[in-house]
Amino acid sequence: MYSKAKLAMALFIASEASFFALLIVAYVFYHGQPQNGPNAADSLDIPTTTFYSLCLFSSSATLWLSERNLRRGQYDRVIAWLVATIGLGAIFLYGQGREYLRLFHNDVTISRNLFGTTFFTLTGFHGLHVLVGLCALAVVAGLVLRGLVRERQAEAVEAVGMYWHFVDAVWVVIFGIVYLGSLV
Amino acid sequence: MKGHEFTEGIAGLVGERERVGWFSHEGLLGWVASVDHKQVGLMYIVAAFVFFGLGGIEALLMRIQLAVPNNHFLSPETFNALFTMHGTTMIFFVAMPLLTGFTVYLVPLMIGARDVAFPRLNAMSFWLTLFAGLMLYFSFFAGGAPSAGWFSYTPLSEAAFSLRSGQDYWILSLIVAGIGTVAGAINIIVTVVTLRAEGMTMKRLPLFVWMNFVNAFLMLFALPVLNAALVMLLIDRQLHAHFFTPASGGSALLWQHYFWAFGHPEVYIVILPAFGMISEIIPVFSRKPIFGYEFVAASTVAIAFLSFTVWAHHMFAVGLGHIANLFFAVASMSIAVPTGVKIFNWTATMYGGQLRFTTAMKFAVAFIVMFTIGGLSGVSFAVVPIDWQLTDTYYLVAHMHYVLFGGTVLASFAGIYYWFPKFSGRLLSERLGSWHFWLTFVGLNLTFFIQHILGMMGMPRRVFTYPALPYWAAFNMLSTIGAFVLLIAMLVFLYNVVMSLRYGETAGDNPWDAWTLEWATTSPPPVENFVRIPPIHGRRPLWDLAHPELADELGKVDA
């Protein structure tokens, strides 16, 4: 028997992947064209973003640890690892906010040129997904804390986990194409 | 299977507490607060018909304007707004919700389930669709309706050229409707995968369920494509970004690629469920099982895959280059093969059958003929030089209406006459139904057939008026007369529904002697759908029950 929640989440992720694919295609399409004004190579701070990206990537690991403890019924650890996950995700968002501020100070905005347009749209939608994920994880943490989630409901929590891992995976692609891609 | 004549209990059962909470309201609140798939399905269908009325009025206004040359009944601006609203309404707020209504009503019943997998999400999908439609129409009161056409080509739809906020309402409305559609698609897939009754294997699914299952995947991947393009356009308009503005380095062509990468799967999204209805109705009124069940199902999957590879046939006039044109021309022609397979399956099902020409069957047979005409003119568009000559003429308008009106609308009427007894407990009048059918059939051909000729004579689409060239006035007048015949047909239908709801003949559980599971329960079905589900040993459980000696999978049935 399939889990309804996990199947639904897998389908939702497939549809989200289709959405992000178009944003990425738009970025790559315009990145390949010569343009005036700022571009990825002269605007992005790769070392700093690498640090914040590692925070996001490691949050997938902490979430996995949380899920594993849920299956074992060790709820204290479930909450501890969930809090760690939310913390790491929040640090990533903080880093993204700082980067945006720095770019705004350098007059790199969504309306400046096509780099700004595609960069802020792509990373902005990803950031929004991180924020939604943090809200979902906070709800899960609250439910576990109040004793409303037990092993039986582990699948629902795993569905939220699938979403979080997906958001991480999207960042792997974006970081690779937008940040590391600007080096070559 | 001994001792299990009937499967007790229903897949997808809900808890008692939730049931009482969900169904304790009466009257209007009972509908607004409902998460029952049958009520949600009917709300979809009723909402679709309200929008059908609005879209129909827009069409009639355009036909009045075009009835005579050099007419000044409408201003050019109003005409632009009308064809934009007509196209958008008919695709997104008539065809899609109408078909979705049938889907969410019938799929759980056909697979022997209690409800869809996520009833609350199902209700949310409906309300998103309805409010998206209302938001689109609110644009009339908020500074003017959108007027850049239903595919809103850039840069015309950009802030510099579409000054009115109507374009923003158009974008927001389609984003909201798109989210509802994706949620609905997820719901249908999960329902079919997890909630099938015992014995209802994938190979025994009614073809209507198969088509909708495949269709849900199309929606799942196509609608986010549209939504991504829409948010980019919105960001362009509201935040002064440059995605599709050539003046600042953006690409107008990218919008065309994005829109049609959604737009062509969309064409199949609004026809596959119609194929599903035809695949249920033709066999029942031919008294034969469908011919080549596997081919009907497999060709649907083939259509779904191919539909993602043909989008640029909407863009031959752009000048994409010889190789690209060739690829998309061949892909577009090849999609006619699985579609043709279906046409042969339906006709082969009728061949040698005991045909019963009820109103539902008349609409279904007319569907096959009309859709074939639309399909043939469609294949002609895949021939690049013909496309160059005829694109954006009335030939295209004719083609598209033969597939959408001759296809989707006729199939939906077949579906309404067929399932109305299940929805309401009463039969629609066959006498009025016959009037409705013949008026629709004559009106449809009168309105649209002549448009093929007009297009070949060079009349472009979307012109608000035309000079008095030879024959143009007469042909356009014929088309307008046809449109009013269609109006009369729709009024007959409305009258039929109103009268039959009050005075119609009582239907009973299974008025057509049909064989899928929705006919095993009462009409209308109780909240929990089934008290008992008949044993499922083949594709036609009710047939097997009535004729055990002639069962479809004889060897597998224990006597």
Give the C-alpha separation, A74 to A128, whole Å.
Answer: 31
Interface probe for B, chosen from A16, A19, A25 (most Cβ of B below 10 Å), is: A19
Three-state secondary structure readout of B10-30: CECCCCHHHHHHHHCCCHHHH
Cα separations (Å) of B363 from B52, B285, B436, B440? 18, 12, 10, 9
CB distance B131 to B97 below 8 Å: no
Total domains, chain B: 1
Q: What confidence tens digit (pLDDT) does each residue in B158-178 have?
A: 999 999 999 999 999 999 999
Residue that wins the pLDDT comparison between B544 and B395? B395
Of A1, A15, A29, the CB nearest to B254: A29
Does some domain include residue B10? no
Does some domain include residue B2? no
SS3 B238: helix
Give the C-alpha separation, B493 to B520, whole Å.
Answer: 27
Does some domain include residue B471? yes
Q: Which residues pair with B393 in a beta bridge?
A: B460
CB distance B434 to B362 below 8 Å: yes
Provide the number of CB pairs (under 8 Å) joining chain A to chain B.
90
Does some domain include residue B11? no
Cα separations (Å) of B25 from B21, B34, B115? 8, 8, 18
Q: Answer whether A14 sits within 8 Å of B220, measured CB to CB.
A: yes
Q: Per-residue DSSP letters for A23-46?
A: HHHHHHHHHTS--SS--HHHH--H
Given this model, what pLDDT does residue B24 score?
53
List the domain boundaries for chain A. Answer: 4-26+46-183
Of A15, A26, A29, the CB nearest to B220: A15
Q: Report how far Cα A39 is from the mean position of its chain's Cα atoms.
A: 23
For residues A118-144, give the mean pLDDT.
96
Give the C-alpha separation, B42 to B39, whole Å.
Answer: 5
Q: Answer whether A117 sits within 8 Å of B243, measured CB to CB.
A: yes
H or E segment and range at residue B54? helix B37-66
- Name the DSSP class of B534: P
Greatest mean pLDDT range, A30-39, A143-152, B526-535, B547-556: B526-535
Q: What confidence tens digit (pLDDT) does each residue in B450-487 have?
A: 999 999 999 999 999 999 999 999 999 999 999 999 99
Distance from the A31 Cα atom to the nearest Cα atom in chain B, whole angstroms: 11
Which tokens sit at B543? 């047939």
Q: Which residues pair with B533 in a beta bridge?
A: B7
Spell out which residues of chain A touch residue B224, defining contact as CB-CB under 8 Å: 15-16, 18-19, 22
Distance from the B543 Cα atom to the nearest Cα atom in chain A, whole angstroms: 29
Does some domain include residue B1? no
Q: What confidence tens digit (pLDDT) does each residue in B115-150 have?
A: 999 999 999 999 999 999 999 999 999 989 999 999
For residues B107-119, give the mean pLDDT.
96
Confidence of residue B5 (pLDDT cuts 50, 70, 90): very low
* Residue B117 amino acid letter: A
Three-state secondary structure readout of B512-526: CCCCCHHHHCCCCCC
- In chain B, what are the helix, strand and coil shares in percent, each to the nearest 5? 70, 0, 30
Spell out which residues of chain B touch residue A122, defining contact as CB-CB under 8 Å: none
Give the C-alpha separation, A165 to B194, whole Å.
Answer: 24
Distance from the A24 Cα atom to the nearest Cα atom in chain B, whole angstroms: 10
Query: b/e per residue, B234-266, with b = 16+ CB within 10 A?
Result: bbbbeeebbbbbeebbbbbbbbbbbbbbbbbbb
Give the C-alpha separation, A43 to B177, whole Å.
Answer: 37
Q: What confidence tens digit (pLDDT) does each residue in A14-37 have?
A: 999 999 999 999 999 999 888 888
Is the confidence at residue B558, as pLDDT, over 50? Answer: no
Q: Per-residue DSSP letters for B411-478?
A: HHHHHHHHHHHHHHSBPPPHHHHHHHHHHHHHHHHHHHHHHHHHHHTTPBTT-S-----TTHHHHHHH
Given this model, what pLDDT does residue B136 score?
97
Of B193, B231, B250, the CB nearest to A114: B250
Q: What confidence tens digit (pLDDT) does each residue in B424-460 have?
A: 999 999 999 999 999 999 999 999 999 999 999 999 9
Given this model, what pLDDT does residue B13 score?
44
Given this model, what pLDDT does residue B25 score?
63
Which tokens sit at B452? 């093929």
Specify the CATH superfamily of domain A4-26+46-183.
Cytochrome c oxidase, subunit III, four-helix bundle (1.20.120.80)
Spell out which residues of chain A touch residue B231, defining contact as CB-CB under 8 Å: 121, 125
Q: Answer whether A111 sits within 8 Å of B239, measured CB to CB.
A: yes
Q: Answer whether A7 sits within 8 Å of B242, measured CB to CB.
A: no
Output the domain CATH number for residue B515.
1.20.210.10
For residues A60-89, give the mean pLDDT.
94
Give the C-alpha separation, B346 to B414, whole Å.
Answer: 14
Which tokens sit at B412? 């939906």
Confidence of residue B21 (pLDDT cuts 50, 70, 90): very low
Residue indicated by tokens 């690049």:
B384
Given this model, what pLDDT does residue B9 score?
40
Please give the residue range of the domain that contains residue B397: 16-556
Distance from the A2 Cα atom to the nearest Cα atom in chain B, whole angstroms: 6
CB distance B393 to B456 below 8 Å: yes
CB distance B197 to B221 below 8 Å: no
Q: Which of A30-34, A161-165, B359-363, B394-398 has the lowest mean pLDDT?
A: A30-34
Spell out which residues of chain A touch residue B254, defining contact as CB-CB under 8 Å: 26, 29
Given this model, what pLDDT does residue B555 score?
53
For residues A74-96, give the mean pLDDT.
96
Give the C-alpha separation, B226 to B152, whole Å.
Answer: 12
Q: Which residues pair with B426 in a beta bridge?
A: B506
Which tokens sit at A135? 């809200």
Residue (of B403, B283, B301) closest to B350 by Cα position: B283
Confidence of residue A151 (pLDDT cuts 50, 70, 90): confident
Q: Which of A50-59, A62-71, B121-130, B546-555 has the lowest mean pLDDT?
A: B546-555
Residues of A with CB under 8 A from a CB of B: 1-2, 4, 7-8, 11-12, 14-16, 18-20, 22-23, 26, 29-30, 33, 35, 110-111, 113-114, 116-118, 121, 125
